[in-house]
Amino acid sequence: MGLARHTLLWASQNQWLGRQFQTRAFARRASRRFLPGEDVESALTAAEVLQANGMSTLITLLGENVTCAEEAESVAREYSAVHANIIERGIDCQLSMKPTQLGMNLDVEVCVQQLGSILQAKPSSDGIIWIDMESSAYVGRTLDLVEQASQTSSNIGLCLQAYLHRTRDDLERLIQLRIPVRLVKGAYKEPSSVAIQKKSDVDEYYFALAERMLDAASRDVGWFPAFGTHDMRLITRIGEAARGIGLRNSSFEFEMLYGIGRENQGLLTDDGYLVRVLVSYGSAWFPWYMRRLAERPANVWFVFKSLLSR
């Protein structure tokens, strides 16, 4: 793991640094690189603009590790309200949430109950509700949560992280259950016993997993893969692999972050690929922001230049 990435991941877990950073005007300006605003209206407006440009969206409320059941219930109500707003405005937009936002740290049953309330309020025809994957300590519980929810809901999907050694087995489990998967590289600080450390090795493992996902999609029309990456080399390889087995560009989608690689997002859309952009909102943006920078430390220089240009 590079020094810059190590430092950024350390910063993402430092609560004191987060409190100090979020009070600084320059930091709030810098965060706008990755989120259009802290309020939901900013996120929904951004989603409408992206839709006008041919792209779908995901919306997530930033935050994790709620401290009481009442907070988890409040988060669930927020997501249900956002979904109702999405339907009213006619946006092709899905929800994406962390299990610790819904109370997993408190009690698994609290999390199950809050996720159930969101799923119950959302018709299955309105697309997928995505459950994000957090650090490796939560992987087993998150898989169990999603499997349990899938027994009563057909519109739930799960994010898997390619840098974890266990992900190949987890992917097979989800394919057998026909649960949609969003594959990302991973953005938490993990030991070598749990996660691959070398970037080039993560890239190769990601592609191997992507090939398996494409193969599953080609054999089962009810299974839909999503690839969360800004790595254009990987995106090109995935596109070529899909064509090699006769898949159309609409048989899968690329999911990318708001504010990163906008030109590439447009080019992929023009080429007929499905592109879905993750739009975030909320005041708890510091840990998330540091992890976004850690995924590609070169973004630090981009942000610095954007601040100087103001």
Q: Which residue out of 132, 170, 203, 231 is catalytically annotated?
A: 132
Q: Which residue out of 182, 276, 291, 292 is catalytically annotated?
A: 182
Q: What is the pLDDT of residues 240-289, one digit of tens each?
A: 999 999 999 989 999 999 988 899 999 999 999 999 999 999 876 666 66
CA dist., res. 175 & res. 71, Å (int): 33
Q: What is the pLDDT of residues 105-161, one digit of tens each?
A: 999 999 999 999 999 876 555 689 999 999 999 999 999 999 999 998 888 999 999
182 noted as active-site residue? yes
Average pLDDT, the chain: 86
DSSP conformational letter for 164: B
List the beta bridge partners of residue 161.
184
Query: Residue 142: which residues within 8 A CB-CB, separation 6 or more?
Result: 99, 104, 131, 133, 134, 158
Query: Residue 166: which residues within 8 A CB-CB, separation 6 or more?
Result: 139
Please, are residues 181 and 223 in contact by the beta-carbon 8 Å criterion? Answer: no
Token representation of residue 104? 């997993």
Question: Which CATH architecture group holds 36-284?
Answer: Alpha-Beta Barrel (3.20)
Q: Where are the domains of the chain?
A: 36-284
CA dist., res. 17 & res. 157, Å (int): 33
39 noted as active-site residue? no
